[in-house]
Amino acid sequence: MMFSHWEKNTCLSWEETVFNAKVLELDLVPVMYEGIYDKQKIIDIYEKEYKGDGCEGYVIRLADHFEYGQFRKSVMKYVDPVFREKINNSHGHWISKKIEPNILK
């Protein structure tokens, strides 16, 4: 699922990402919160399931565009401890597996 759209070394704004996802007919990640960062609000609304599927966690990103060099200051990811444990007890993380290309439209 898509949570960013890049043109060269620029991550496009969330507004542009949403627009491009619609044009390209790609699915976006579900948005659980939009607004000024509020750690407690985000913790309170996080759900371990979405439409019957387990959630691995969530990504927080700036709504504005940013350059690749600012990625570490512009995006964060929370991984649910339950998901992390499943990965540790399975056949490994996706990064160590064979790449399987997507079939895009």
pLDDT at 88: 67
Q: Which of 18, 45, 41 is nearest to 29 (CA)?
A: 18
Tens digits of residue pLDDT in 43-58: 888 877 777 777 788 8
Hey, what are 56's tokens?
Answer: 């691995």
Q: State the alpha helices, DSSP H only, in the chain.
A: 14-24, 39-45, 71-74, 81-88
Hey, what are 66's tokens?
Answer: 């940013």
Question: What's the sign of the alpha-carbon dihedral 66, 16, 20, 4?
Answer: positive
Strand pairing partners for 58? 78
pLDDT at 18: 96
pLDDT at 49: 73
pLDDT at 6: 95
User: What residue type is 46 in one-letter code?
Assistant: Y
pLDDT at 52: 75
Domain ranges of the chain: 6-79
pLDDT at 35: 92
pLDDT at 20: 95
